[in-house]
Amino acid sequence: MSSRHSFFSSTVGSKLLVAVTGISLVGFLIAHLAGNLLVFLGPGPFNEYSHKLISNPLVYPAEAGLVLLFLVHAWKTITLTLVSSRARPVAYEKKRRAGHTSRKSLASTTMIWTGLFLLVFVPMHVWTFKYGAYYEAEAAGVRDLYRLVIEIFRKPGYVVFYIVGMSVVGFHLWHGVSSAFQTAGADTPRFTPVIRRVGWTLAVVLAVGFISIPVWVFLVGGRS
């Protein structure tokens, strides 16, 4: 146990935890988006899906697991950033003509800042929908989450807040996905271009997918 704890406290172990928790959270985002897109089919399918999800007895341990993944990912990332900052109090000079292509980009150099923003955005977003107004659907005992979604996304302020938040998610994933696979050892010279393209594609698809919902509700009004 002590050796395992020592490994996950090391830089290598911490980076591996960041990678594994990050990939797991991306998997959740994909599943979450797939369910959220049912809103386009109207209140029936969306409320039926939502009810099956929140009435499942496994939802509580699943939520606890997600919170744990989120907190471990944030904690380890912040810890690694602080350790790296202390180890390099003076920024390195840019290497010119180093003979290789640098992976540094705006997305990679702002990972800690986009991550800190999401540390605030995600709990606020979850609270808004999980503990928002309770409406009864036509079926007895079924929460009308569709109505809640429509009402919230008809508010210009929240629409802007959500679009900014999901844009930051996409920006975070732009570098985060390929970086996670690199840390996990899947990023080899042969597959690097593919992994990076997959990461970029996921970032765009997830961001655009989530953003499409409030835009549709605000501009079209949804279906009652």
pLDDT tens-digit map of 27-75? 999 999 999 999 999 999 999 999 999 999 999 999 999 999 999 999 9
Question: Rounded to the nearest 5°, which phi and psi values hold at 135?
Answer: -120, 140
Strand-pair partners of 143: 136
Q: Which two tokens stand for residue 136?
A: 């009864």
pLDDT tens-digit map of 63-87? 999 999 999 999 998 988 888 777 6
Domain boundaries defined on the chain: 13-78+106-220
* Per-residue model confidence (pLDDT) at position 155: 95
Rounded to the nearest integer, the mean pLDDT of the chain is 85
Closest CA to 171 of 135, 199, 136, 132: 199
* Per-residue model confidence (pLDDT) at position 1: 52
Please count the other Cβ atoms lying within 10 Å of the Cβ belonging to residue 29. Answer: 18
The one-character DSSP state at 92 is P
Of the ranges 14-28, 125-139, 206-220, the best mean pLDDT one? 206-220
Q: How far apart are CA 63 and CA 161, in angstroms?
A: 24
* Per-residue model confidence (pLDDT) at position 125: 94
| pTM attached to this predicted model | 0.84
Q: Check if CATH label 1.20.1300.10 holds for domain 13-78+106-220.
A: yes
- Judge whether 72 and 22 are in contact, CB under 8 Å: no
In terms of pLDDT, which residue wins out, 39 or 11? 39
Question: Rounded to the nearest 5°, which phi and psi values hold at 18?
Answer: -60, -40
* Per-residue model confidence (pLDDT) at position 92: 47
* Per-residue model confidence (pLDDT) at position 90: 53
Q: How far apart are CA 135 and CA 103, in angstroms?
A: 49
pLDDT tens-digit map of 158-189? 999 999 999 999 999 988 888 887 776 666 67
Helix ranges, the chain (H): 2-9, 11-36, 43-54, 59-87, 106-109, 111-130, 145-152, 156-183, 192-220
Please, which residues have CB within 8 angstroms of residue 20's CB and are 6 or more apart in sequence?
A: 180, 184
Is residue 208 predicted with pLDDT exceeding 80?
Answer: yes
Q: How far apart are CA 179 and CA 164, in angstroms?
A: 23
Which contacts (CB < 8 Å, 24+ apart) does range 102-110 have?
A: 105/174, 105/175, 107/171, 107/172, 107/174, 107/175, 108/175, 108/179, 110/171
Exposed, middle or buried, 177 (CB in 10 Å: 0-12/13-18/19+)?
buried
